[in-house]
Amino acid sequence: MPAQIHWFPGHMSKALKEIEGRIKVVDVIIELFDARAPFSSINEDLEKVIKNKKRLVVLTKVDLADDVQTKKWIDKLSNDYEKVIALDLTKPSAEKIISQEVYNLGEDKREKDKKRGLKPQPIRAMIIGIPNVGKSSFINRVAKRSAAGVQNKPGYTRGEQWIKVNKDFELLDTPGVLPMAYENKNKAAKLAILGSIREDILPKTDLCIYLIDLLKNKYPDALRTRFEVEEITDYETIMNQICKRRGLLKAGSYDLERAENLLLNEYKSGKLGKMTLEWVL
């Protein structure tokens, strides 16, 4: 196993430089974290670039995260960030909340413009975050149209794009950016399980070992109800039981590869239940 997991496609270093260059011309930052692993969603490279710019933090994909943990994460992150909200961006109701929050973010700017005797200018907000966290979906929600491309794969947005929402807002979509390398293999595994890093960065078995461990410790009922696993013991025994229950066989033995794909897909799609990978202690 390599000491460091390298993951840094060329377009990400370009994107980071572009984000840095734009900081001066945007009024506020909206930073998205995946509610299932907020801590691993924080990219220190982005944090350095943003510095003290006014910022809204949004925990996305709350429909897939554990509600109790999401609440705890909002409380915890509220110690470090001025405003933290949590959203399911697939729901149209997110639009009203976002519009209100973006409007609130522009308060200082509007006051400043007023004092200077200027006509209020649109608030320019830059949306940043790791790949696949929902940046383009967020923009489409406020814009009420498919203005930004959305795909369920990391690194879909390749270049910056300004989207004019109305006379009050202009939003800048940016490509997802990750740290250059991961010294912590668990962090890379979590991001791969969420779909923010290409799954093939680590062997699928490593991802599944991590996921089964989480299920065993935090959500054992999901293994029982979804896969009818009776013996919650070691990794192999659990995976074999999944193969047996789902009829995943190859040449007379259990087809572990299919079971791994099944497990990862069921987690990602929420079929296993609402589960958070990183717990607030």
Ligand X SMILES: Nc1nc2c(ncn2[C@@H]2O[C@H](COP(=O)(O)OP(=O)(O)OP(=O)(O)O)[C@@H](O)[C@H]2O)c(=O)[nH]1
Sole window of 61-69, 152-160, 185-193, 199-207 interacting with Mg ion (rule: CB under 5 A): 152-160
Name the nearest CA neighbour of 221 among 262, 267, 272: 272
- State yes or no: residue 179 binds ligand X (CB under 6 A): no
Q: Name which of 152 and 253 has its Cβ closer to ligand X.
A: 152
Q: Name which of 135 and 239 has its Cβ closer to ligand X.
A: 135
- State yes or no: residue 241 binds ligand X (CB under 6 A): no
DSSP 8-state class, residue 119: P
Q: Name which of 9 and 120 has its Cβ closer to ligand X.
A: 9
- x/- contact string, 105-144, with Mg ion (CB under 5 A)? ------------------------------xx--------
Name the nearest CA neighbour of 169 among 210, 207, 121, 231: 121
Close Cβ partners of 228 (under 8 Å, ≥ 6 residues apart): 241, 245
* Size of site (CB under 6 A) for ligand X: 24
- State yes or no: residue 39 binds ligand X (CB under 6 A): no
DSSP for 141-178 reads HHHTS--S---SSTT---S-EEEE-SSSEEEEE-----
Bridge partners of 34, per DSSP, are 60
44 token code pair? 């220190």
- State yes or no: residue 38 binds ligand X (CB under 6 A): no
Binding site for Mg ion (CB under 5 A): 135-136, 157
